[in-house]
Amino acid sequence: MSDIGDWFKNIPFITRYWFAGSIAVPLIGKLGLIGPMYLVLWPEAFFHKFQLWRPLSATLYFPVGPGTGFLYMVNLYFLYQYSSRLETGAFEGKPADYIFMLLFNWICIVLLMIPLIMSVLYVWAQLNRDTIVSFWFGTRFKACYLPWVILGFNYIIGGSVVNELIGNLVGHLYFFLMFKYPMDLGGRSFLSTPQFLYNWLPNRRGGVSGFGVPPSRRPMPQEQAGGGGGGGGRYNWGQGFRLGDD
């Protein structure tokens, strides 16, 4: 049990509580301690009966059963793997920025579990787009294709692809507005982390990192003019941890 406890304590802070909640809430519903109807998002109950916990419980709840158990375990694995890698990579030492990304995706996704996980996976895949990842049966490909491979895989095994598609689209929206458009295309920044999140979760130094970094700041024209011929204004989006090199 101490090994499990040590492993759990080593999960990055935000991912740890998200992961634990995604186990605890479905278990509570499965055991009947709280009826599943009290855990899902029901707008009338939220707005008129002031059941304010529903947006959070709906994000963590999954109807685990004989036909959904495998899908649940796969998405729990994705949550652990790719949220941990984002939190210890591109968002290392920046918990407020990571919480803001989750909140932005959470609101766009209308508070559902699988799309939120897929949106995080999509952002990780874009920040590590040239990293080679391994999938089922030893297949290997660039990380930028991973969200779409998972979508196709779920379609083949008979699952709905709506959740995965919504997650990918919301992840792309966040990535484009936060990184691609302002940093690579030189546009204005439409997203920024609110100051109250920095007050609550200030940036910190140190820790484990190395799973990918966001693109660097776009050089200003005067910096490019005096930089000694460094090439164009494009960025290497593929820095990151190579899976399968254990």
Q: Do residues 133 and 230 lie in contact, with contact meaning Cβ atoms separated by under 8 Å?
A: no
Q: 3-class SS at 141?
A: strand
Q: pLDDT digits over 106-125, tens only?
A: 888 876 788 899 999 999 99
Q: Letter for the amino acid at 158?
A: G
Q: What is the mean pLDDT of residues 196-209?
A: 75
Q: pLDDT digits over 52-75, tens only?
A: 888 888 889 998 888 888 889 988
Cα(88)–Cα(82) distance, integer angstroms: 10
Q: What is the mean pLDDT of residues 171-183?
A: 91
Residues paired with 132 in a beta bridge: 142
Residue 114, sorted as left (phi over 0), alpha (psi -120 to 50) or beta, turns out to be: alpha
Cα(131)–Cα(21) distance, integer angstroms: 30
Q: 3-class SS at 94?
A: coil
The pLDDT assigned to 44 comes to 82
Q: Do residues 214 and 88 lie in contact, with contact meaning Cβ atoms separated by under 8 Å?
A: no
The pLDDT assigned to 142 comes to 93
Q: Which of 222, 218, 231 is nearest to 187 (CA)?
A: 218
Q: pLDDT digits over 121-144, tens only?
A: 999 999 999 999 888 777 899 999
**What does the mean pLDDT of the chain come to?**
81
Contacts of 125 (CB under 8 A, 6+ apart): 82, 143, 144, 145, 146, 147
Cα(242)–Cα(246) distance, integer angstroms: 9
Percent of the chain with pLDDT over 70: 81
Residues paired with 140 in a beta bridge: 134
DSSP one-letter code for 140 = E
| pLDDT interval class at 6 (50, 70, 90) | confident
